[in-house]
Amino acid sequence: MMRSPGAGRRAGVILAAMVIASACTAKGESGHGADGSTAVGPPAAGAAATQAPSAALAPYYTQKIKWAPCKQDFQCGKLDVPLDYADPEGERIQISLIKLPASGKDRVGSIILNPGGPGGSGIGYAQAAKSVLTPAVLSKFDTVGFDPRGVGESAPVRCLTGAELDKFIGLDGTPDNPAEISALAKGAKHFAEGCEAKSAKLLPHVGTADAARDMDVLRAALGDQGVTYLGKSYGTYLGAVYADLFPKKIRAMVLDGAIDPAISPVPAVNAAQAHGFEVALRSFIEDCLKQTTCPFSTKNTDSALNQVTSLLKATDQHPLRNDTGDGRQIDESWTTLGIVTALYDKRSWPVLRSALGQAFRGDGTTLLKLADILVDRKPDGSYSNQTEANMAINCIDHPYPHKLSAYEQAAEKAQKESPRFGAYVMWGSLPCEYWPIQPNVTDKPLRAAGAPPILVVGTQRDPATPYEWAKNLASELSSGVLLSYDGDGHTAYRTGSTCVDEAVDRYLIDRTPPKNPTSCPKIT
């Protein structure tokens, strides 16, 4: 959807905050348009929602998953789906699955998870099931995670080597002159060309509409009449697309950290996200100034914000020290990524206090380690395909400008509105200008007419998916119910609010949504 700074030149929302917080603790039917373009956006709801699968698709819907023990108490399996839903008798791909059986005797069915991204591993997220879901939900449901097509273990998109990704992510994301703009454009073009060279066959078929169709095949293969789903961040967009395609196939759906499907990435989504990070940074600083370990040389919030601005400007010219030994220059891009990582979850704020204190003394090592969490870079220099999948999915899910000047103008405006993050976020969508597959899509509200109540959860100071998006999505969905949380960080369920957890659990288990709207208070 949008290009998150944490994605490292990614075009979209990234993983749910819980994943980032735990990592911080550990480390310290597609068709072809008349012009040959690919129509990858969700079609109008109706046919897919009300008709039985076609004869060609029926074998997919009736398949039986062969589960085998793997990874502690989990079971792993594969799901066959068509590469191209317009040609279901053609080439197949496999979707990788993982399941944690329900712990109780009164099993209701399965709950399918998606952590966000696009590009986040649903398999990895499900492995954290005991943190992601409450014991009450774990008792009633098999927890099922899947890597969406193009992601992780499911026909992954590949574009660049690890060394190339290091260079790409480290590009100056706030270019100040024509030479720097040219360098950034060259890097974006190289990324797009790399994806075409290595993954051309996959690129037209990794959009969210196809992933939603895969999810309905999964629902049937699991034996569930209606899907029970928890999607966070980008996972809310996947859920909304599914709901619009299959409104009568929903049992219960929670969309936490919501994205508004009606607005386009450049400039609207990127500008809103940049502003969201500004709000989160201010909230962090206000809290920091109350702490004895706060590294700022001032007790004034605006002055502290200026200190962060000065740090970022300084690293644009003079990189911070890197004690990891991997040779990377901790420039403005890596510094920004490190800051953003910890803003996703209030539980990471102590780490950010320490990291900024070190950075003010010239040491960026902790900020770099934080950034590596967000881009899923391993200590050996290798990456998951999270960044590549994110770009591949977003670039065909939404319309993007195809003039460099459009990005430049949008970045200049965003920088005025969000001085620390605006330009960086806006320029992050640039690879989509050069993308080899041009989508024939329009960003628009998704109604999911005929669906049962869908619970949309919004956090009032969410840095990555602004609260307004949750309000918008809840109003756009024909049966949307809004649950607001007066809190900080990205997403709300299982981040500390008993009020949120109880409301979500009641809905998931009993299908009893809260009153529309309902608010949960700030944790004191």
Residue range 496-517, pLDDT digits in tens: 999 999 999 999 999 999 999 9
What confidence score (pLDDT) does residue 274 get?
96
Residue 396, pLDDT above cutoff 60: yes
User: Per-residue pLDDT averaged across 170-194, rounded?
Assistant: 97
Active site residue 490: yes
What confidence score (pLDDT) does residue 14 get?
38
Contacts 24+ apart (CB under 8 A), 52-61: 54/88, 56/88, 56/89, 57/82, 57/85, 57/88, 57/217, 60/88, 60/217, 61/217, 61/220, 61/221
Active site residue 429: no
Residue 480, pLDDT above cutoff 90: yes
Residue range 119-149, pLDDT digits in tens: 999 999 999 999 999 999 999 999 999 999 9
User: pLDDT-derived band of residue 466, with 50, 70 and 90 as boundaries?
Assistant: very high
User: Per-residue pLDDT averaged across 434-439, rounded?
Assistant: 94
User: Per-residue pLDDT averaged across 35-60, rounded?
Assistant: 59
Please answer whether residues 492 and 513 qualify as being in contact, where contact means their C-beta atoms are separated by less than 8 angstroms. no
Residue 36, pLDDT above cutoff 60: no
User: pLDDT-derived band of residue 159, with 50, 70 and 90 as boundaries?
Assistant: very high
Choice among 4, 233, 264, 333 that is catalytic: 233
What confidence score (pLDDT) does residue 52 get?
79
DSSP 8-class letter at 268: I
Active site residue 318: no
Quote the mean pLDDT of the chain.
91
User: Per-residue pLDDT averaged across 21-45, rounded?
Assistant: 36
Residue with tokens 């039917």: 29
pTM for the model stands at: 0.91
What confidence score (pLDDT) does residue 51 get?
61
Q: How far apart are CA 166 and CA 79, in angstroms?
A: 33
Choice among 199, 490, 497, 501 that is catalytic: 490
Q: Is CATH 3.40.50.880 the classification given to domain 64-157+206-263+445-520? A: no
Choice among 244, 345, 397, 462 that is catalytic: 462
User: Per-residue pLDDT averaged across 391-416, rounded?
Assistant: 96
Residue 19, pLDDT above cutoff 60: no
Q: How far is CA 493 from the centre of its chain?
A: 16
What confidence score (pLDDT) does residue 440 get?
82
